[in-house]
Structure 1
């Protein structure tokens, strides 16, 4: 790990996609990347499945009603590699930023498999990683196929050792520990606005709580990016259902911001509204707190506890000659 730890500006984007339109959503992302770079950002983090949006119908319709919407999402999903990813890589290269952005990834081997995928792109436009959400949460299982351990990697970037998780994965202590144990100092946590959560669930509070926990436990910085629910999304999902329209407009459904190694917000988080949160990150602030609690070092008992992670990609078929090992 370098002695000269980076200081940089991080940008957490809180925005809605152009719903189910991957071309227009990528165009919007490219414009926001350029805006963040003009304001000095060296790390830009976007929401979960920003391209081209979140399957809210899983929460508001029964599976039969939602099935045509799954097909719409499948047709609008992103290929990896593919032109939409190339456009995002080019935008990161032009802006000279490290980019984290969520996409719906269309599987190469099956029309029925979609992945909730987080892309990490370097400032030279190189795709560093594509992390597929390990476990779709609750109703999300109607849409996404689970990922595997091959993408639980921390990437060496100009802004420091960077790891990413999507939404509910940030409640998984083993997934988080896997990243911390690889030297993670900067964590990107991407979410979607969830106005369809149970009545007693405050999504903004839940996001802040998860970010604070990971930061305090690991003595790291977390950049949180959450989507918003646009009027377009409300119109498409709710139609004339006034009760559902009211539910989709529920306040405190989104929070974006940056949290420090003490678990506190570095700057005031943004709640519900579209915008970009900027914060200065100094990774040297991670050193002294680790003297007290270093859960991947002296504050652990590796003779007592041992975590085994399977890093192998899970593929539908393997041939002895290796000819079909890659999807």
Structure 2
């Protein structure tokens, strides 16, 4: 069977969320999906933590001043099967597009445990891949838990083989190689609106724009893939919430280098311009056949490696807070039955079945 190399249009949504409002953000995303689909896009990408917005406050103020914002984020963090993502799924299905959505994920197991997650949604609205950021970066550790490797995979689609990493994961050579070695052709990398580490103007301050350019170019060039880079931006409401009337914080927010969006080809060259600032959808025409020729020069998952020297193994076991193994059936009696003869058959739900249902 001969290989096929799909062509399609991708859309990177360089946009602001409805800050700390997941349903409002979902409805905005649905409108953007419709706009992108009308423009001919088959893949629509949203930024890191887009739903309900990136918790930038963890970089700006002492933790003792951020409890209320964390509670708001926790309340607005969504479940994979929740109503907010259902709005996005319906839009993907209605317009027949694949959607990548960054979101803060909550769990029924805890009211305060959150993950920085990304979901790839198919044209039929179903989940194609669900990834939790492996390690929250720097101040993000105050917000999110570490993820696992369940979503460290490349998804075969009619647009090609799609992989995705979140922000700092694009600096992790092993995570990137894990996707390369699964035949990745289209890479999605998502970023926040800004990432302050020092007061702007300090020579050691982190330049998010430059960091993204380096990471994106490196992965495109090394993996020989198209790289769809999508960062968020902040609107006036988000800036007001983050600064909370503090002029010094407002100045930091305004002058900190912003995240940028772009699309790169398998040689690391720009397909679109590098965009920052105001909200905009970037479009790029993708031809996955362009991934082939550069593999002649350096194919790090093929002949240009030494597998007799280097080995990488990935454990994709989901890391859940509790698991239920095979246990003996529950006793058939209760205190109220103590004086009655033992029954020959256990009544009600066994611990084994209860465990299975809880795991589901």
Question: TM-score range, shorter-chain basis?
Answer: over 0.9
- Does 2:218 match 1:213? yes
Q: Which residue does 2:188 correspond to in 1?
A: 188
Alpha carbons 2:120, 2:128 under 8 Å: kept: yes
Matched residue SS, 1:27: helix
Any gaps of 5 or more consecutive residues in structure 2? Answer: 327-351
Q: Which residue does 2:174 correspond to in 1?
A: 174
When the two chains are superposed, the root-mean-square deviation of aligned CA atoms in Å is 1.4
Q: Which has the larger radius of gyration?
A: 2
Offset at residue 210 of structure 1 (A): 0.7
Distance of 2:130 and 2:258 partners within structure 1: 26
Q: How does 1:1-327 map to 2 (within 5 A)?
A: 3-198=3-198, 199=200, 200-250=205-255, 252-321=257-326, 323=355, 326=359
Matched residue SS, 2:196: coil
Offset at residue 220 of structure 1 (A): 0.4
Distance of 2:244 and 2:84 partners within structure 1: 29
1:209-243 superposed Cα distances (whole Å, 9 cap, x missing partner): 11100000000000011000111111111122112
Offset at residue 35 of structure 1 (A): 0.5
Offset at residue 197 of structure 1 (A): 3.3
Alpha carbons 2:106, 2:114 under 8 Å: kept: yes
Offset at residue 318 of structure 1 (A): 1.7
Distance of 1:304 and 1:105 partners within structure 2: 39
Matched residue SS, 1:162: strand
Matched residue SS, 2:111: coil
After superposing the two structures, state which structure 1 stretch, 13-22 or 55-64, moved more: 55-64
1:140-169 superposed Cα distances (whole Å, 9 cap, x missing partner): 001101110111011111111001111111
Alpha carbons 2:196, 2:256 under 8 Å: kept: no
Distance of 2:120 and 2:186 partners within structure 1: 13
Distance of 2:121 and 2:183 partners within structure 1: 19
Q: Which residue does 2:336 correspond to in 1?
A: none
Matched residue SS, 1:151: coil
Any gaps of 5 or more consecutive residues in structure 1? Answer: none
Offset at residue 195 of structure 1 (A): 5.0
Distance of 2:144 and 2:359 partners within structure 1: 20
Distance of 1:150 and 1:23 partners within structure 2: 26
Distance of 2:114 and 2:108 partners within structure 1: 9
Distance of 1:13 and 1:173 partners within structure 2: 26
Offset at residue 108 of structure 1 (A): 2.0
Alpha carbons of structure 1 residues 175 and 63: separation in structure 2 relative to 1, 3 Å: same
Matched residue SS, 1:111: strand
Offset at residue 114 of structure 1 (A): 0.5
Q: Runs of 4 or more off by more than 6 Å in structure 1?
A: none
